[in-house]
């Protein structure tokens, strides 16, 4: 620990707008890393780029549009968290461990549920219009 309470190598965030700007930079670095290194994230991001404009067009109200686009965004958020868990597990070591496998499986299940949520939301919002 350093005298200021920070561990060696820890990111210092600053204050006010400086902190916000640095946090934005770290977030952009994370998005860039996910796009460069995670095929699943690239696929889901591409799907969102196609479906988000469709959601804005098909949604009959602001609430419907928010639900349709929000469900897509949730998939990206979940995939980012899953990728982060996988990166940490892989960092620990390449050997198989029951807890490492469980962590990866749970992350994968979270992504699956977020994708199932997209299907449910889109069906519940759009089907009544055509039924």
Q: Are 78 and 110 in contact (CB under 8 A)?
A: yes
The CA-atom distances, in angstroms, between 76 and each of 7, 40, 95, 104 are: 31, 10, 28, 17
- CB-based contacts of 77: which residues, under 8 Å, 6+ apart? 114
The CA-atom distances, in angstroms, between 29 and each of 16, 32, 91, 110 are: 20, 5, 18, 23
Q: Is 44 a catalytic residue?
A: no
Among the options 38, 44, 64, 79, which is catalytic? 79
Q: Catalytic residues, which ones? A: 79
């Amino acid at each position: 620990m350093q005298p200021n309470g920070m561990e060696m190598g820890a990111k210092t965030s600053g204050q006010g707008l400086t902190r916000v700007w640095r946090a934005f930079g770290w977030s952009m670095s994370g998005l860039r890393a996910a796009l460069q290194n995670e095929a699943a994230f690239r696929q889901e991001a591409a799907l969102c780029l196609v479906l988000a404009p469709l959601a804005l067009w098909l949604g009959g109200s602001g609430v419907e549009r928010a639900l349709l686009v929000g469900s897509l965004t949730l998939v990206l958020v979940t995939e980012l968290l899953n990728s982060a868990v996988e990166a940490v597990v892989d960092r620990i070591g390449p050997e198989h461990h029951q807890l490492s496998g469980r962590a990866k499986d749970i992350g994968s299940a979270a992504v699956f549920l977020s994708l199932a949520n997209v299907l449910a939301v889109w069906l519940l919002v759009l089907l009544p219009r055509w039924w």
